[in-house]
Amino acid sequence: MTKLSLTGLAVYRRIRRRIWSKIWPEIWFGLLVGAVVGGVLVQPSFAEQCLAPSPTLLKGEDPYAPIKDRDLTPGENDTLKRLYQSLTGNWRATAETFFCTSADDPDDVDSDRATGQAKVVVDYSGDLTMTAEFYSPRQKSSHQEILHMFQSNNRLRIEHDTGAGDVELIDISGHTISCLYRRIVPMGKGSSRREFFFTLHAAADAFTIEQQLYIQGRLSSGQSWHFKR
């Protein structure tokens, strides 16, 4: 949820790298939700507080365990095809992101808001690509976001149409896709364990993509993209 692999801003990345070089190794890509309204920093609006335990931990399960990936049923495959097609076209877009900038202070949050335009296309195989161009007044810079969602090989996958893009399905309906996926990223002599929760929800002439990133079982960042015709 970005890359949701739903996954950045050039200037924002530089800021994040400077901060995290002091506390954790560089993070994969900074994504996800909180906003700057009138120059006032606000806390994440759709997520738990920074550094909160992942939903997997709260259920007493292992956030490092392999995901339970599976093939789509024929009904789920048809549902995804219809949902993808309903999203095609041009959209007005807003992006809200937050990044937890401290390893021990949950109130230390860096947030941003951007606006722009997006286009969704579905290719002949039925796979979806969303391309968005955003501008952040706070950063005074533009950036591009690209999201790939696959289903042509009878699996929902994000970013990669291989096993590297596999997800664990939580919910698929005519209006919603919800899933989680996990990645282990080599970091020097060790590794970083990352768990992503991704949700796409569509309504009449609008849809939203949200993603939260948990690192070592704690909330690290989040993003929410809102699209309207």
Question: Could you tell me the CATH number of the domain that includes residue 224?
Answer: 2.40.128.20
Residue 1 lies in a domain: no
Q: Mean per-residue pLDDT for 198-219?
A: 96
Residue 19 lies in a domain: yes
CB 83 within 8 A of CB 52: no
Residue 5 lies in a domain: no
Continuous segment of H or E residues that includes residue 74: helix 74-86
Q: How many domains does the chain have?
A: 1
Residue 2 lies in a domain: no
Residue 164 lies in a domain: yes
Q: Where are the alpha helices (DSSP H) in 119-200?
A: none
pTM greater than 0.85: no
What residues make up the domain containing 124? 10-228
Q: Mean per-residue pLDDT for 59-78?
A: 95
Residue 71 lies in a domain: yes
Residue 3 lies in a domain: no
Percent of the chain at pLDDT exceeding 90: 72
Percent of the chain at pLDDT exceeding 70: 79
Q: Is the pLDDT of residue 224 over 70?
A: yes
Residue 34 lies in a domain: yes
pLDDT of residue 48: 67
> With bands split at pLDDT 50, 70 and 90, how would you rate the model's confidence at 184?
confident
Q: How many CB atoms lie within 10 A of CB 62?
A: 10
Q: Mean per-residue pLDDT for 205-212?
A: 97
Q: Is the pLDDT of residue 6 over 50?
A: no
